[in-house]
Amino acid sequence: GAVVSQHPSWVICKSGTSVKIECRSLDFQATTMFWYRQFPKQSLMLMATSNEGSKATYEQGVEKDKFLINHASLTLSTLTVTSAHPEDSSFYICSARVRGGTAYEQYFGPGTRLTVT
Amino acid sequence: GNSVTQMEGPVTLSEEAFLTINCTYTATGYPSLFWYVQYPGEGLQLLLKATKADDKGSNKGFEATYRKETTSFHLEKGSVQVSDSAVYFCAFSDSNYQLIWGAGTKLIIKP
């Protein structure tokens, strides 16, 4: 089946530093990847939609200069949290949509736990 | 606007009990409907789906039927196990193929 990986699975960083999270589709090509943030009470928030070769589309209220998204290839998207602060601590999840697929061909990564101290 | 409303949790049941997690949606047109599951410490997995009215999605003993008239997609299982303990998310795809999510329902099954 389609597999999506994320790296790292968890990261601790100091306030003011930047952290990069990678999302890879391992056995399929994904023209579109999504980045979500999951809050402690489990609700998922879509942060942005990332299309290969073009700029990401950010949801309302998400700072694009703080959460930099790059989708450089059909199998890799990265999320960089710049100048991280403790309030950015969260669980970040990516998903990848199979090229030409409909919504039910969206596969999720295992998530990355970010802790900012 | 588009939205999904699902039961607030946590839902706590004993093993072998009957499970229902309610989900209703507000959408234009006829979206595809999904249930995702997130086991402790893991990522989201598609549990089941239904793409048109009266379709029944099923997997691992779970079922949900696409009810257009009531805009609902309730999740059911006849006999739950401890291993079913997880967070369950109801969702549908909008016209841009983005997923619209419910808030999630935490299910706790006690032996």
Q: Which residues contact residue B30 at a Cβ distance below 8 angstroms, ignoring those fewer than 6 apart?
A: B52, B53, B68
pLDDT reported for residue A58: 95
pLDDT reported for residue A68: 96
Element (H, E) at A73: strand A67-73
Per-residue pLDDT in tens (0 to 9) along chain A, 117 residues: 688 999 999 999 999 999 999 999 998 888 889 999 988 766 788 999 998 888 899 999 999 999 999 988 889 999 999 999 999 999 999 999 876 555 556 789 999 999 999
Which positions in chain A have a beta carbon within 8 angstroms of at least one beta carbon in chain B? 4, 6, 32, 34, 41-44, 46, 49, 93, 95, 97, 102-104, 106, 108-111
Q: Which residues of B touch A6 (CB under 8 A)?
A: 43
Mean of the pLDDT values across residues B29-56?
90
Give the residue among B37, B70, B73 at the shortest CA–CA distance from B55.
B73
Q: Round to whole Å and give the CA distance between B70 and B77.
A: 20
pLDDT reported for residue B94: 79
